[in-house]
A and B are shown apart, each in its own frame.
Chain A
Amino acid sequence: MADRSAATLSTGSRFQVSKGLLTVLVSTAVLFALSAALAPTSVAPGTLSGMLPFAAILAIVGLGQMLVIQQAGIDLSVAGSVSLAAVIVTVYPTGDNSRLVPALLMAFGVSLATGLLNGVLIGFIKLNPIIATLGTNSLLYGLVMAISQGIPRQTTSRLQSIVTSATFGIPNTVYFALATLLIVILFLRKTVAGRRFESIGASPAVASISGLRVRTHLGLAYVWGQLLYTLAGVLIAGVISSPNGSMGDAYLLPSVAVVVLGGTSLLGGRGLPTATVIAAVFLSQLDQFVLALGVNFAVRTLVQAAALAIGVAIYTVDWSRVRAVLNKLLSANSRGQNQASLPSA
């Protein structure tokens, strides 16, 4: 009996390719092919090395947002957090390399505190994530103003050289993004806490019946998110020589968009980190491609909206039902034609 069942129960392969990953991989490949064919300048080495740092930063922000979204939350404090990190690491040292490390510690300390605040408000006081993170976002912008007084400062030369230089021909920001991705994957798939975290996102009801600490993990999602936004903010400070206090605004909507495009549901569930990162590359390259085609900002925005709509519809629409309805319509049509042709026969 055991033998028979053993035969039916394969252990499966070690690596699984999700529908989200597959979709976004294929789309990205198609996009690059289109870029090469229609707008070769958009895949020129110079353009790519200009695009990649921003794609990498978006990927890191997206990974943070993903950890929150997979717990059926959403984090609007992305904007404030990224801006604050960029401001702290430029204003505090104001060009003095020796003060860079304390500045980094400060930035991550603040982000830890912000994450805990969000986590307590949402996990334990049960505030709606939109409201809570809207509030903390204002708080963070208050700090941005208090620290910078609205005046951008020059990035320290050390941060700038670390972030902007390339290793083996690839911008260092890409390595940061890949390292982040690796850590997130390791956490989600290889640690007890991460596996529990993922299960809680998939079903808080099951997790709670199994005795897991649902509220704690839910709250911690916002802490992990904050740490990643802060990393992104620091990298921005390196890439842009004197970041102003609203750098983060540009990352709020795209951070949600890449998560959704990567196939992670806004209703919570499994997070797809690799797909999220590739979606970030996709969105950035889409921008480059449309730019190289010479169309204006408006069309670029519309293309983004269309990409998002199609990207979400792939997951939400029950395509087997659509096919069934279409088949029905088609067969009804052909029947109608048959009937129309009957009298003449």
Chain B
Amino acid sequence: MAQSASKTVVMELRGISKNYSGVAALTDVSLQIKAGEVHALLGENGAGKSTLMNVASGTVAPSSGDLVIHGERYDALTPALANQLGIAIVHQHPAVLKDLTVLENLQVALPSSIFKGRPADKVGVELLERVGLKISLKLRVEDLTIAQKHLLEIAKALATSPKILVLDEPTAALGQDSVELLFQLVANEIASGTAVIYITHRLAEVRELADIVTVLRDGHLMATSDIGKITDAELLAQIIGRELKSAFPSKHTVAEGAKPNLVVTGLSGNGFNDVSIEAYPGQIIGIAGVVGNGQSEFLKALSGQAEFTGSIEINGQKKSAHSLNGKAALMPADRQREGVMMRMSVRENSALASLKKFKNFGLLSRRKEVTSVHDTLTSLSIKAPGLEAPVSALSGGNQQKVVMARALLSNPVMILADEPTQGVDVGARSELYEILRQASADGIPVVVASSDAKELEGLCDTVYVLSRGQVVKTLRDGENREEAMIEAAVTSTTKVIRVERQQREQRMANETFFVKFRRFLRGDYAPPAMLALVMVALSALIMTKTDSYFSDFNMNSILLLVSALGFVAIGQTTVMMTGGIDLSTGPLVGFLVVIASFFINDDAPFTAIMMGLVTMALVAVLVGLANSALIRFVKFTAIAATLTTYIAIGGFAFLLRPQPDGYISQAISDVLNSAIGPIPYVFIALIVATVAMEYLLRKSRWGWQLRAVGSNEEAARKVGVRTTRSIIGAYVISSLFVFLGSLLLMVQLGIGDASQGVTYTLTGITAVVLGGTSLMGGRGTYIGTFMGSILLIQVLNATVFLDLDQTWQYLLQAILILVAAVVYSTARNRKASKKNS
């Protein structure tokens, strides 16, 4: 597999640099990718491999440098452009949408040409078969295992027959058989002339697959070599090669006859299996391994925040998860999110876990707190503008010292540091090492997980190397050289420990009726089915009391009310599908009636009526645009944005009609009220609209994109959805359905009245919620909203027939909402908890 000069260069990255707020992630990296070759990218965590590939696939724009693809020059790509150029990427964290089905995930991410002319499920099954994924296309992606999600991601990438295929650590979560299959697929792609870029940590995979190997270190390109001409030792030297930059404190010598102060035996939990470690007083324990091999999960379990089996003993005392939670201090790896409260002050961040110490007569004493926090921070030689400065104003190293101060102030039984020096400058690093050493010398067990083997070599006394959740090597003092750790981590051949779970999922493939029924209960169409049952029961109950319930008159008036509400609620459903909310629907429906009252009058000519309708539609579109512009461009939350338009629309309505006036044309009312038997035509229109929207939601690219945005905006963007356009569209569509609803409200009111309509906001939301659409976005049905609208109106109407007063109208509504919300939410949570176990 020697490099041949004749192979064509399909992609060239020239002098790519990328800075994130002043920090260089990539510096002047140039790379040539050739057709029919596997080009491996090697490097430690944070070396810049993923950033480089994000540049190549269009999710990140470079700060400088450019790309040449198929001979064309580009400054930067977008995900959509990269797709067109035949670049497909398998992301390290699969860009899959959990609320969509497997098939829908394929459909939203792939160009429609792939599905052209053949039934979609057939194409889908074929695509999945290529990667050996045997699951139902109808399965929701959140029910997939991590390995299955990765395979789905690979299937998507291969489906487009890409010219350039980027694989970002594709085997991290895969089982052995899947890895072999993947290698086979890569070989096939190469044979057909595809260029493959393969990012990995594992030398064995590089040896097996790659033609060319490039090593990145700290954002710099080290070397590009022919795989046949470089030895493992040379590669390792390129990957590591960093001289010892930080000074480490001297290590600890275990005293003769000392007893261990931390003994962990056979600890297993989510992400790690059968881990045993032991520490003597004064020792620092290191957990080594490639990121994502169970280190963080292991530390979380030690801190009592995750379930585990096995035992943890501190100073001879057995500890339960409950007794560790809050007592064992965890310094999380994701400092930005889990470590510090960015907008709170240095003082508040430091004191968080030790507030009880500062009480004086029941209240917090500022003096005590300030003194204590100040002393601790000073002993950590923190550099900060002041105690009251927000933590966000501090450098990474000083933020980490705040986390450290919080841990020390809380008198912890154990300190667990996950990547304690990530994003910390060299000077602060050695200070952090000193602090950990000091804590350890004070007798507190200290466990440090780090992907920086050099750091563990310098800091720790005993190092355990984790690979795929298992200890593959224990290195005592003297043996814990960086080389030994990296070797153990990158050469390990442990298999993923998710086999059992995969088998359990496989069993689900043989579906019994019971399994199918359970899936239905958790599915999108369970809520409307439940609502139908309630409706039938309620009707039966009313029938026992009266026989005029099904009279034409009552049916007709119920259905007219349902129609107005139904259209407004369909609009609301569209917005909620994106994870937003539109509070302005109520005032808008009233405002449009006010506008109508100027045009659609008894003696108005046809042109005036047409103009009225056009004006109403235009105003609706404008309101939709205003809402979405506030949200997307001025960054309002959906509630703040639509609350603002809510109030403004009300103002405009009263501006136009300070007093109710402007009688609506009787002729138009008659048209809109006309019916076959008891069923008004407008109700039939509502049914048609519901079915059409439902169809579009499930079967059209618009619908998949809409739900993709609500499900996970970031992933949606990665698969090429134009998220802003989708969201603007949703608010405009919402307003247009409000326009349809306003025509019916117009008939009901018969006059322009600025005070009417506002109640439609909350009733509309209620109908949507009853229908089972999630306010979190991504999932729901229009059918459910339709049923919800009917049930709501039916309940209000029923109180009349059952001789119940207004109290019951409210109580029944409350019971409906709360019972529905609790039932739907527990059905969904059960699934989530099952997944976590």
Contact = CB atoms under 8 A, between A and B. Distances in A.
A206 B637 contact: no
Interface in A124-154: 125-128, 130-132, 134-139, 141-146, 149-150
A136 B383 contact: no
Nearest to B383: A8
A165 interface: no
Contacts of B645: 305
B264 to A, nearest CB: 19
A146 B807 contact: yes
A11 B386 contact: yes
A300 B362 CA distance: 46
Given A298-B655, A317-B635, A12 B341 contact: no
Nearest to A205: B338
Contacts of A14: 366
A195 B348 contact: yes
A142 B643 contact: no
A52 B499 CA distance: 68
Contacts of B634: 313, 316-317
Interface string B107-148: 000000000000000000000000000000000000000000
Contacts of A196: 352, 355
Contacts of B348: 195, 198-199
A139 B387 contact: no
A4 to B, nearest CB: 8
A74 interface: yes
A128 B635 contact: no
Contacts of B825: 125-127
Interface in B301-355: 303-305, 325-327, 330, 332, 337-345, 347-348, 351-353, 355
A6 B658 contact: no
Contact of B806 (A12, A128, A145, A191): A145
B667 interface: no
Interface size class of B (residues with CB under 8 A): 35 or more
Given A12-B389, A199-B344, A202-B343, A139 B658 contact: no
Contact of B364 (A195, A253, A256): A195
A145 B810 contact: yes
B821 A135 contact: yes
A12 B386 contact: yes
Contacts of A128: 775-776, 821
A9 B643 contact: no
A297 B654 contact: yes
Contacts of B650: 301
B810 A298 contact: no
Interface string A104-137: 0000000000000000010001111011101111
Interface in B804-829: 805-811, 813-814, 817-818, 821-822, 825-826, 829
A136 B818 contact: yes
Contacts of A11: 370, 374, 386-388
Given A2-B381, A195-B364, A299-B655, A253 B640 contact: no
B310 to A, nearest CB: 21
Interface in A164-201: 186, 189-192, 195-196, 198-199
B386 A1 contact: no
A252 B16 CA distance: 53
Contact of B651 (A132, A136, A305): A305
A131 B821 contact: yes
Contact of B822 (A125, A186, A269, A296): A125
Contacts of A202: 341, 343-344
A202 B630 CA distance: 24
B83 interface: no
B539 interface: no
Contacts of B3: none
Nearest to B818: A135
A196 to B, nearest CB: 7
Given A270-B344, A301-B651, A308-B643, A9 B822 contact: no
A73 B406 CA distance: 27
A207 interface: yes
Given A121-B822, A206-B352, A209-B332, A270 B363 contact: no
Given A13-B388, A145-B806, A298 B652 contact: yes
A121 B658 contact: no
Given A138-B811, A138-B817, A190-B363, A9 B378 contact: yes
B636 A312 contact: yes
A211 B637 contact: no
A133 to B, nearest CB: 10
B723 interface: no
A324 interface: no
A203 interface: yes
A331 interface: no
A190 B364 contact: yes
Most buried by A among B362, B363, B647, B806: B647
A337 interface: no
Contact of B818 (A121, A126, A269): A121
Contacts of B427: none
Contacts, number: 230
B154 interface: no
Interface in B596-640: 630, 634-637, 639-640
Given A253-B646, A270-B343, A135 B325 contact: no
A207 B340 CA distance: 9
B378 A5 contact: yes
A110 B303 CA distance: 40
B654 A130 contact: no
A174 to B, nearest CB: 25
Given A192-B356, A208-B305, A9 B374 contact: yes
A344 interface: no
Contacts of A212: 326, 352
Contact of B347 (A12, A125, A313): A12
A210 B811 contact: no
A260 interface: yes
A267 interface: yes
A254 to B, nearest CB: 10
A142 B822 contact: no
Contact of B648 (A9, A138, A192, A302): A302
A6 B381 CA distance: 8
A309 interface: yes
B377 interface: yes
Contacts of A318: 635
Contacts of B347: 12
A306 B649 CA distance: 11
Contacts of A203: 337-338, 341-342, 344
Contacts of B640: 260, 266, 308, 312, 316
A121 B775 CA distance: 15
A304 interface: yes
B359 interface: yes
A338 interface: no
29 contacts: A9-B377, A10-B386, A12-B347, A14-B366, A131-B817, A135-B821, A138-B811, A139-B811, A191-B364, A192-B355, A196-B355, A199-B344, A206-B340, A206-B352, A208-B305, A209-B303, A209-B339, A210-B326, A211-B305, A211-B326, A253-B643, A253-B646, A256-B643, A266-B639, A301-B654, A302-B651, A309-B648, A316-B640, A317-B634
Q: When A and B form their complex, which 6 residue pairs have the shortest distance between CB atoms, in order from nearest?
A: A211-B326, A12-B388, A301-B651, A138-B814, A298-B654, A142-B810
Interface of B: 303-305, 325-327, 330, 332, 337-345, 347-348, 351-353, 355-356, 359, 362-364, 366, 370, 374, 377-379, 381-389, 406, 410, 581, 630, 634-637, 639-640, 643-648, 650-655, 658, 754, 762, 765-766, 769, 775-776, 805-811, 813-814, 817-818, 821-822, 825-826, 829
Given A199-B348, A203-B344, A209-B305, 18 more contacts: A12-B345, A13-B388, A132-B821, A136-B818, A142-B808, A144-B810, A192-B364, A199-B344, A202-B341, A203-B337, A206-B340, A210-B326, A210-B406, A256-B639, A270-B343, A308-B644, A309-B630, A317-B635
